[in-house]
A and B are shown apart, each in its own frame.
Chain A
């Protein structure tokens, strides 16, 4: 076996086992006793986080040095937000309240790469699940008639100043965790283009952290 083949086989097995681990943790029953349930919840979240990071690294590996090219098609923003709400709700179990808000002006369909956008938003949801105090809310709506905004808002203390600063300055964030996910989400937003407009990621604090993905 060549080294490259062995590498591929190892990756393959790792992904298989990680998938099984995720499913296995999903099936651990809750006891209603907080120390036990708390550990299980943390394991679940952590496992999902590793899974997401693995997907992200594979995506970047695939894109190589090129720009990410999104596979744009028509999707229902409402449906996507509803799916994300269900995912967030199940990850939060009973610990946090998860709401969604579909604005009246939300179009029935919009054009984007569903897999990429989902990945960016799941990232934001993981962050919010970690830092929120009691609830998170997922929004969707239109801005200026030509941009779809999908946002994740929580009641955490908000993004820390140094993250906001390094994000605005486009400084590579060297620490682990949050910064990486945000950079990745920005990459995804900026890969979306329409009629000369480029997508964007907006971070802000408004009674908590607000993560907004802007898709033209």
Chain B
């Protein structure tokens, strides 16, 4: 059976219909790429030089194909740009994104990246190999178009059945479809099905992503030991699979093994030091473990290597300062604030971090005037609505308390406690702060007062919902949200009750609007919370049921 070509008709790409973008800081390369793409038949080709231009352009343009150089001169590199594009959802899953690179180590960067490209081309490459690569990528995108669309609309059931179609009819894409399906099953918590799927893939070949997926399903089924065993083996055999270190850290953390988790992240960082979020998690854990030197190193890396990353925040500067203050290196902490000025001064949150750190430093230097100034600035910022993450708010409360500003401290503690009424570790930290200030009893009282109202409303609502009285449950939870507007758990409970109410008692646009708002707030507070996907699904079901959303055809 000799073929002239392996391709049949539906495998051939119509290049004339494509829109392409080339990003390269080197003019010679830009025009060479343009010439090559025009030879393939593409007529609509845009050329850009820097990451910032791409971010602006993609706000109101979309492309079928983006060829982006890894090295873009000053500012973001291609990988940081891609991470920002994906994170801000400026490119769809249907867009082919190819990283062009002369870095021989790029495979390593890509393997360890948070959000990777569809493929990469290592310079120099020939016109034919580029054409072949694009043919294959575009065919894959067409094959999975329906799956992408469902995933982007969070229609998991539909995405699963689209995967099944491909599994049945396109043996060439069987393994890719299984991979998508496994990820979707894990995302909606159907772990035992996912387990079966990954074991099936491993019967074909024990490829690292299948083993990683299996470990994830086992962790999802609370089989932590089995998951950890597989992860350690992946790390041993394929040390470049950094996602394994991250998952192992998560598994160990769930077992309260903070030291083991820190070790796992340190190993991951030693394979790739560039990933901002891994360094942040390492820094956070090291701070909790009291390993100040490691924390300082990790946050130092975040700031130096992630300067242009979308994942960096004012808090990173603050955490670096906390490690430095912990080591007694007050001058370095002040240097860090100076270095971070461009980021810290542009948002109220950053300004608050800046003032809290200054108050901590001057609490130690004994410069009473500077301390007063910093604390007064913090009060003003907080009154104007600025908030930062709980660690800094607790630091702030602690500093206030050590310097006799009890009312200020109690007020912020009340707010933190209300918004985290069910978080034992946080409430314990609060109690410790009061103990150290010799106000243990007062602390007990502040926390109880702050949390009892929210806790009571929430418990009553749960009982009402169980009885099927969703209208009353919604009312209780609305009051709880009013009390604790930053409490992700309460917000999610409210969304759940509201959607149940709409399901059982008919449509109310007012309630739906409230539910949408709470869901958005909860997502902002706790973007990775495991309950969110199912709430989003429930929301869509209600919207579809009342004709507020049309089913995507498929």
Contact yes or no, A109 B3, CB < 8 A? no
Complex partner residue of B104 from A22, A59, A79, CB under 8 angstroms: A59
Q: Interface size bucket, B side?
A: 35 or more
Complex partner residue of A22 from B7, B126, B132, CB under 8 angstroms: B126
Report B102-136 CB contacts with A as 1/0, cut-off 8 Å.
10110100010000000000111111110110011
Q: How far, in whole Å, are A72 and B205 apart by their CA atoms in the complex?
A: 9
Interface stretch (choices A13-21, A153-161, A169-177, A179-187): A13-21
Contact yes or no, B131 A102, CB < 8 A? no
Closest B residue to A50 by beta carbon equals B124
Complex partner residue of B240 from A69, A104, A109, CB under 8 angstroms: A69
Contact yes or no, B207 A69, CB < 8 A? no
How many Å from the CB of A167 to the closest CB on chain B?
Answer: 27
How many Å from the CB of B188 to the closest CB on chain A?
Answer: 24
Asked if B71 lies at the interface with its beta carbon under 8 angstroms from chain A, I say yes
Asked if A131 lies at the interface with its beta carbon under 8 angstroms from chain B, I say no
Q: How many A-B residue pairs have C-beta atoms within 8 angstroms? Tell me.
A: 114
How many Å from the CB of A121 to the closest CB on chain B?
Answer: 12
Contact yes or no, A87 B129, CB < 8 A? yes
Asked if B172 lies at the interface with its beta carbon under 8 angstroms from chain A, I say yes
How many Å from the CB of B103 to the closest CB on chain A?
Answer: 8
**Residues of A with C-beta under 8 A to B29:** 16, 19-20
Asked if A30 lies at the interface with its beta carbon under 8 angstroms from chain B, I say no
Known A72-B205, A102-B1, A104-B1; contact A109-B128, beta-carbon cutoff 8 A:
no
Q: How far, in whole Å, are A72 and B237 apart by their CA atoms in the complex?
A: 13
A:68-93 near B, CB below 8 Å: 69, 71-74, 76, 78-79, 81-83, 85-87, 90-91
Report B195-229 CB contacts with A as 1/0, cut-off 8 Å.
00000000011010100000000000000000000
Closest A residue to B104 by beta carbon equals A58
Complex partner residue of A24 from B5, B32, B132, B176, CB under 8 angstroms: B32
Contact yes or no, B71 A12, CB < 8 A? yes
Q: How far, in whole Å, are A11 and B103 apart by their CA atoms in the complex?
A: 9
Contact yes or no, A78 B124, CB < 8 A? no
Closest A residue to B36 by beta carbon equals A23
Closest A residue to B110 by beta carbon equals A71
Contact yes or no, B126 A12, CB < 8 A? no
Asked if A101 lies at the interface with its beta carbon under 8 angstroms from chain B, I say yes
- Interface SS of chain A: helix
**Residues of A with C-beta under 8 A to B1:** 101-104
Contact yes or no, A108 B172, CB < 8 A? yes
Report B276-304 CB contacts with A as 1/0, cut-off 8 Å.
00000000000000000000000000000
Q: How far, in whole Å, are A121 and B78 apart by their CA atoms in the complex?
A: 30
**Residues of B with C-beta under 8 A to A108:** 171-172, 174
Asked if B14 lies at the interface with its beta carbon under 8 angstroms from chain A, I say no
Q: How far, in whole Å, are A22 and B121 apart by their CA atoms in the complex?
A: 14
Known A71-B107, A74-B176, A100-B6; contact A111-B126, beta-carbon cutoff 8 A:
no
Contact yes or no, B207 A72, CB < 8 A? yes
Contact yes or no, B175 A74, CB < 8 A? yes
Q: How far, in whole Å, are A79 and B239 apart by their CA atoms in the complex?
A: 30
How many Å from the CB of A198 to the closest CB on chain B?
Answer: 15
- How many A residues have CB within 8 A of the partner chain? 47
Closest A residue to B124 by beta carbon equals A19
Contact yes or no, A22 B171, CB < 8 A? no
Report A101-130 CB contacts with B as 1/0, cut-off 8 Å.
111100011010000000000000000000
Contact yes or no, B126 A86, CB < 8 A? no
Q: How far, in whole Å, are A121 and B537 apart by their CA atoms in the complex?
A: 48
Contact yes or no, A18 B124, CB < 8 A? yes
Contact yes or no, B205 A194, CB < 8 A? yes
Complex partner residue of A15 from B102, B107, B171, CB under 8 angstroms: B102
How many Å from the CB of A93 to the closest CB on chain B?
Answer: 12
Contact yes or no, B104 A16, CB < 8 A? no
Closest A residue to B33 by beta carbon equals A23
Contact yes or no, A79 B6, CB < 8 A? yes
Known A12-B102, A55-B122; contact A83-B136, beta-carbon cutoff 8 A:
yes
Q: Which of B102, B174, B204, B209 has the largest count of A CB atoms less than 10 A from its CB?
A: B102
Asked if A62 lies at the interface with its beta carbon under 8 angstroms from chain B, I say yes
How many Å from the CB of B494 to the closest CB on chain A?
Answer: 44
Contact yes or no, A62 B104, CB < 8 A? yes
Asked if A212 lies at the interface with its beta carbon under 8 angstroms from chain B, I say no
Contact yes or no, A62 B172, CB < 8 A? no
Q: How far, in whole Å, are A48 and B124 apart by their CA atoms in the complex?
A: 9
**Residues of B with C-beta under 8 A to A12:** 71, 102
| Nearest 8 A/B pairs, CB to CB | A19-B124, A82-B6, A74-B175, A108-B171, A58-B104, A83-B132, A15-B102, A111-B205
CB-defined A-B contacts under 8 Å, sample of 24 = A11-B102, A12-B71, A16-B102, A19-B123, A22-B124, A23-B32, A23-B36, A26-B127, A69-B238, A69-B240, A71-B107, A76-B172, A78-B6, A79-B172, A83-B129, A83-B132, A83-B135, A90-B127, A100-B2, A100-B3, A100-B6, A102-B1, A108-B172, A109-B172
Contacts A21-B124, A22-B125, A82-B6 known; 11 new A-B pairs at CB < 8 A: A12-B71, A18-B124, A19-B125, A23-B36, A26-B36, A26-B126, A71-B107, A72-B205, A76-B172, A108-B171, A109-B171
